Amino acid sequence: MPDMTHRAASHAQTMGSHPQPKAASHPMGAGRRPLVAAGTLVFSEPWDTEDAWRPWHLCVTVEKPGSYGYRRRYLKTPGLALYSERFDTPCRLRGIATPDRLVLAVPLRLGPRSRYWGMPVAPDRLPVMCSGGVHWVVDAGQRHMMLLVAPSLIRRYVDADLQVALANAANVHALPVRPQAVEPLAAWLLGLIDEAAHGPEQWRRRAIHSLHQELLRQLVAAIDVPRLHRVKPDTSSRRAGLDRALEHLRVASLPGVNIPQLAEDVGVSARTQEYGFRAMFDLTPRGFLYLLRLHAVRRELIAPDADRRTVREIAEQWGFHQHGRFSGYYRRTFGELPSETRERRGRPLGSEGPSGPGHRQEL
């Protein structure tokens, strides 16, 4: 999706409500980029959350349009990102992750409808992924930790056999863990974020190396290793075709994507492709493509320069050439007309906080 990524990046540079997270400014060496970033993001609009998750192509669909709340506390080092996330309202997150991290969710507070890839969280497994499709159903008040680890750190601190087993678990989105180890792991991860927030001067290069080593040790200690080695990856043609299709969509110009041609390009039948998308996203391939394009339109509509183009021009840019049908798709997805979204750009985006709307606190 080079077009979408480029436009979102240019919007983030110019929109006061969409600043990108900055590295923490504490003494880590003059003239060099700080090694640690930590702070808080608070948003009351779903498109801000979509921007915060970039370079993932994430679509946040709110169950009750007009009501949304998201808060993230974060800690980032080279090769590692740790988020404590809270969602105030129920929503659905669907999209495509970049293939450059092992991603692990550690639940803190879930609701009866909480799902990761269609599965409720069990006490003896944690949601995990490496790349591909994202489909999470978030309940009101849900809190979880998200840990994103670069492959280079895993190769450095995890033995080769365990690396393969972790990849197999990520393929099926279920990491076997010892139930009694989950709560201490969550508490330890939360402690890291607290420590970074209150003592940034402690985070030196040597401390970061120790942090990476200790974090991987804590993670491996929580894993039920015998069960992990028994996990078999999904090697079906349906899953392989889906993964290839998602990678194609991740880098494609979305308005030009042809769904029948996509199936042919990735080497699966149209029926196999449809089964794969329905299993992952509860959407047809065309429905998922429309979702990505509709969210791209919404980001365009709230851009600061949106008044230079009509709604029709923006819609046609993203491949919607029948305006009446487009407006119907848009309203069913977002609970409002495109013109109503456009009116929002003149109002504060993000939640009220100590630093004003949509505030970000940086160390």
Q: What tens digit of pLDDT does each residue of 220-259 get?
A: 999 999 999 999 999 999 999 999 999 999 999 999 999 9
**Run of H or E residues at 143:** strand 142-149
CATH of the domain at 337: 1.10.10.60
Question: Quick check: 84 and 39 in contact, CB under 8 A?
Answer: no
167 and 212, same domain (yes or no): yes
User: Is a pLDDT exceeding 70 seen at residue 358?
Assistant: no
| Residue 138 and residue 13 share a domain | yes
- pLDDT score at 32: 56
Encoded amino acid at 279, one letter: A
Give the DSSP H/E element, type plus range, for residue 341. Answer: helix 338-343
Give the per-residue pLDDT at 4. 33
> Is 359 among the domain residues?
no
Closest residue by Cα to residue 23 from 14, 10, 32: 32
Q: Does residue 63 surpass a pLDDT of 90?
A: no
Structure confidence at residue 351 (pLDDT): 32
Burial class (CB in 10 A: 0-12, 13-18, 19+), 212: buried
The answer to whether residues 213 and 291 belong to one domain is no
Considering the entire predicted model, what is its pTM? 0.84
Three-class DSSP category at 132: strand
- For 80, which DSSP code? E
Instruction: Label residue 130 by pLDDT band (50, 70, 90).
Output: very high
Q: Which two tokens stand for residue 120?
A: 């409720």
Out of 17-21, 79-83, 207-211, 333-337, pick the least confident.
17-21
Q: What is the mean predicted confidence (pLDDT) over 173-183?
A: 97
How far is residue 265's CA from residue 248's CA, in Å, rounded to a whole number? 9
Q: Which positions ≥6 away from 64 have C-beta within 8 Å?
A: 89, 90
| pLDDT (average), residues 189-215 | 83
Please give the Cα distance from 314 to 20 (Å, whole number): 24
Q: How confident is the model at residue 354 (pLDDT cuts 50, 70, 90)?
A: very low
Distance (Å, rounded) from C-alpha 166 to C-alpha 154?
Answer: 10
182 and 53 fall within a common domain:
yes
309 and 265 in one domain? yes
Q: How many helices (H) and strands (E) does the chain have?
A: 14, 13
What does the pLDDT read at residue 359?
45
Residue 67 lies in a domain: yes
Kindly indicate the confidence band of residue 305, based on its pLDDT and cuts at 50, 70 and 90.
Answer: confident
81/134 same-domain check: yes
67 pLDDT tier (thresholds 50, 70, 90):
confident
